[in-house]
A and B are shown apart, each in its own frame.
Chain A
Amino acid sequence: MSAENLVQLLYLVATGLFIMSLRWMSNPETARKGVFSGVAAMVLAVAGTLAGVITTGGTHYWWILAAFIAGSAVGYPLAQVPLTAVPQRTALSHAFGGLAAGLVGTGKFFLYYGQSNEEALAPYIVTALMLEILLGFLTFTGSLMAAGKLQELKWIPQRPVTYPGQNVINLGLFTLALALGVALVLNPLAAWAPLAFMLVMVLSLAFGVLLILPIGGADMPTVISILNAYAGLSAVAMGFVLNNKLLITAGALDGSSGLILSIIMCKAMNRSFTNVLFGAFGQTQQAAAGGEAKVYKSDTPESAAQIMAQADLVVIVPGYGMAVAQAQHRVRELYDQLKKRGVTVKFAIHPVAGRMPGHMNVLLAEAEIPYDDLVEMDEINGDLPQADVALIIGANDVVNPAARTDKTSPIYGMPIIDADKARTVFAIKRSKNPGFAGIENELYYLDKTFMLFGDAKVVVGELARQLAGEGGH
């Protein structure tokens, strides 16, 4: 077998393993096999590439080894972050992925240009190169911005930033990048080509920033998914440039995953892609009914605990507030105390609760709550009219009944968890400010709703303590 065929065979096996890796993610019981198969695929891919490079006469092996070691040294601590920081870590690694693709594309272009390699700069390859650097660098800066927003860095605005003519400016810059790209495809060896290339690079970097500026925290799950798809597609483009099937297949798997997650997130917010990307959402709606100040009823953890102790079914609706307060372990204590008293406890998980897809599930799994009790929105909504208590922990928009009734609300039409159908509603909230999307929540003013103001961790801990205390006497 020729060395070339051996490399391709290794790539083929790696592709199969990557597909199985995703296939095994369909079930929590087989999911860990998916990780092992992914690791095996990656090892084969790297081994195959090195074999190919060695047999065709490569060089710089010590440097490559050093880059591997440095990457592992940075990657290892990044895998140890607390689970509440997983959205930031994910955004950061999208940034690394985008940068890698962008840099490889840049390297290839200047290599071919320096060699005046007309064959290697065939139009379709330059087209792929343009897509690779556009997606790569856009993903790089966009993901860094997203990670900064998620980490709540002071110098990155949290609220969506909008200015007049925003979409016109973005569109203008995009047209300019497109024109430069077309010019490069037609004249890749022109004297001005390196300059044009660099300009496309700069524009792509700028796009990443401009695309994320107008996006608010509530849209983060969608944006992270879209950036995930872009990172995958930039790998696909690299595959076209380098004539490499493994890059195309693995990139396409990543791209389709990002695409599906984006669609699920958009559906869960009743919004379209374009609306997320171009329709800034989340400016505080100054209460139109300015005159009448509505009043909350608040309650103490003591009496809330008493009511919960007598319930048959308690549905807990967690949201980003639970993640911020790191309250998941206290929630587990509450869950245990209620279970001990024979109360059925279920968790209602909205697809966009938190800052990335599946965020709540991971946090609750960390607190060792069995995943059988984590119930998807569509399933739990059937149970809510029978629930005695709905306990909302740091969630807001995903339980806002305005989504069903108020046509003027920005979240109108978004599927929600029907917490308002439970007999009694307790809502734990950090402050009296509206949620991240800045929208008033009718749920809090209902007759059956009682607010428990305070840090989620403290309040839930107090609820658990009350239940435990009563049991002890």
Chain B
Amino acid sequence: MPNLILAIAQGTGGHAAGGHGQLDFMGALFVFMLATFIGLMAIQRVSRLLHTPLMSLTNAISAIAVVGAIIVAAGKDAPVYVTALGLVAIFCSTTNIVSGFLITDRMLKMFKKREGAPK
């Protein structure tokens, strides 16, 4: 186990294969931690009324996996089956993007205040 941790820690050098941005492992962890805290704070303020639309919205947001799917599918020297996996992943993510945002909006349109209710 200590070997493994050491190995992981040593592997923080320049990894260029992804090609998107110069990001080291520790830098990525920083980004992850900060984004998680921002997420926790933003979500805690979400009205309980809207928990179902919130879930379908974050569903659509997590379809950001489409970014990775495009990178894999567009790879030039990749074997056919790798491209195929990427294309299926694009299909799955697009499904979530389209249905997630549409149904969230459809639900949110239904939430109405009582007429003449005080602000």
Q: Do A and B come from one complex?
A: yes
Residues of A within 8 A of B (CB): 4, 7-8, 15, 18-19, 21-23, 25-29, 31-32, 34-35, 38-39, 41-42, 45-46, 49-50, 52-53, 56-61, 63-64, 66-68, 70-72, 74-76, 78-79, 81, 83, 86, 89-90, 93-94, 96-97, 99-101, 103-104, 106-108, 110-112, 114-115, 117, 119-120, 122-125, 127, 182, 185-186, 224-225, 228, 231-232, 234-236, 238-261, 264, 349, 351, 356-359, 361-362, 365-366, 368, 370-374, 376
Chain B residues with CB under 8 A of A96: 63, 92-93, 95-96
Separation of A96 and B10 alpha carbons in the complex (Å): 34
Contact in complex: A186, B7 (CB < 8 Å) = yes
Residue interface bits B82-119, CB-to-A below 8 A is 1, else 0: 11011111111111111111111111111111110100
Contact in complex: B107, A83 (CB < 8 Å) = yes
Say how far B59's CB is from chain A's closest CB, in angstroms: 5
Separation of A438 and B60 alpha carbons in the complex (Å): 35
Chain B residues with CB under 8 A of A366: 107, 110
Contact in complex: A110, B79 (CB < 8 Å) = yes
Chain B: CB-nearest residue to A373: B114
Query: Which of B50, B65, B95, B101 has the most CB atoms of chain A within a 10 A radius of its CB?
Result: B65
Say how far B66's CB is from chain A's closest CB, in angstroms: 6
Say how far B71's CB is from chain A's closest CB, in angstroms: 6
Chain B residues with CB under 8 A of A374: 49
Chain A: CB-nearest residue to B76: A59
Chain B residues with CB under 8 A of A50: 70
Q: A52-B19, A249-B35 given as contacts; is B90 within 8 A of A68 (CB)?
A: yes
Say how far A379's CB is from chain B's closest CB, in angstroms: 10
Say how far B115's CB is from chain A's closest CB, in angstroms: 8
Contact in complex: A103, B23 (CB < 8 Å) = no
Contact in complex: B112, A255 (CB < 8 Å) = no
Chain A residues with CB under 8 A of B44: 260
Q: List 28 A-B contacts (CB under 8 A).
A: A22-B54, A32-B108, A59-B75, A71-B93, A71-B94, A74-B95, A79-B102, A86-B107, A90-B55, A93-B99, A93-B100, A96-B63, A100-B65, A100-B69, A100-B96, A103-B69, A111-B75, A185-B8, A225-B55, A232-B62, A244-B21, A250-B64, A253-B42, A261-B55, A351-B48, A358-B50, A361-B51, A370-B117
Contact in complex: B8, A127 (CB < 8 Å) = yes
Contact in complex: A39, B55 (CB < 8 Å) = no
Contact in complex: B73, A239 (CB < 8 Å) = no
Contact in complex: B11, A125 (CB < 8 Å) = yes
Q: A19-B38, A25-B53, A59-B76 given as contacts; is B4 within 8 A of A365 (CB)?
A: no
Separation of A240 and B17 alpha carbons in the complex (Å): 12
Separation of A238 and B64 alpha carbons in the complex (Å): 10
Separation of A365 and B106 alpha carbons in the complex (Å): 11
Select one of A35, A72, A81, A244 contacting B68, CB under 8 A.
A244
Chain B residues with CB under 8 A of A368: 110, 112
On chain B, the number of residues with a Cβ less than 8 Å from chain A's Cβ atoms is 99
Select one of A23, A63, A71, A376 contacting B92, CB under 8 A.
A71
Say how far B10's CB is from chain A's closest CB, in angstroms: 7
Chain B residues with CB under 8 A of A27: 47
Contact in complex: B101, A119 (CB < 8 Å) = no
Chain B residues with CB under 8 A of A259: 40
B2 at the interface (CB under 8 A from A): no
Contact in complex: A79, B99 (CB < 8 Å) = yes
Contact in complex: A97, B63 (CB < 8 Å) = yes
Q: A253-B61, A357-B51 given as contacts; is B38 within 8 A of A67 (CB)?
A: no
Q: A75-B95, A235-B62 given as contacts; is B73 within 8 A of A110 (CB)?
A: no
Q: A50-B70, A243-B21, A256-B36 given as contacts; is B65 within 8 A of A235 (CB)?
A: yes
Contact in complex: A124, B82 (CB < 8 Å) = no
Contact in complex: A35, B105 (CB < 8 Å) = yes
Q: A97-B62, A100-B63 given as contacts; is B46 within 8 A of A25 (CB)?
A: yes
Separation of A69 and B41 alpha carbons in the complex (Å): 36
Separation of A277 and B5 alpha carbons in the complex (Å): 29
Separation of A104 and B89 alpha carbons in the complex (Å): 7
Contact in complex: B48, A246 (CB < 8 Å) = no
Chain B residues with CB under 8 A of A74: 91, 95, 99
Separation of A136 and B55 alpha carbons in the complex (Å): 18
Contact in complex: A23, B42 (CB < 8 Å) = yes
Chain A residues with CB under 8 A of B63: 42, 96-97, 100
Chain A residues with CB under 8 A of B79: 110-111, 114
Separation of A81 and B31 alpha carbons in the complex (Å): 37
Chain A: CB-nearest residue to B13: A122
Q: A72-B94, A75-B102 given as contacts; is B64 within 8 A of A42 (CB)?
A: yes
Nearest 10 Cβ contacts at the A-B interface? A71-B94, A75-B98, A358-B51, A256-B39, A58-B74, A243-B18, A122-B11, A79-B102, A370-B114, A120-B17
Chain B residues with CB under 8 A of A127: 8
Contact in complex: B52, A361 (CB < 8 Å) = yes
Contact in complex: B64, A251 (CB < 8 Å) = yes
Separation of A236 and B58 alpha carbons in the complex (Å): 14
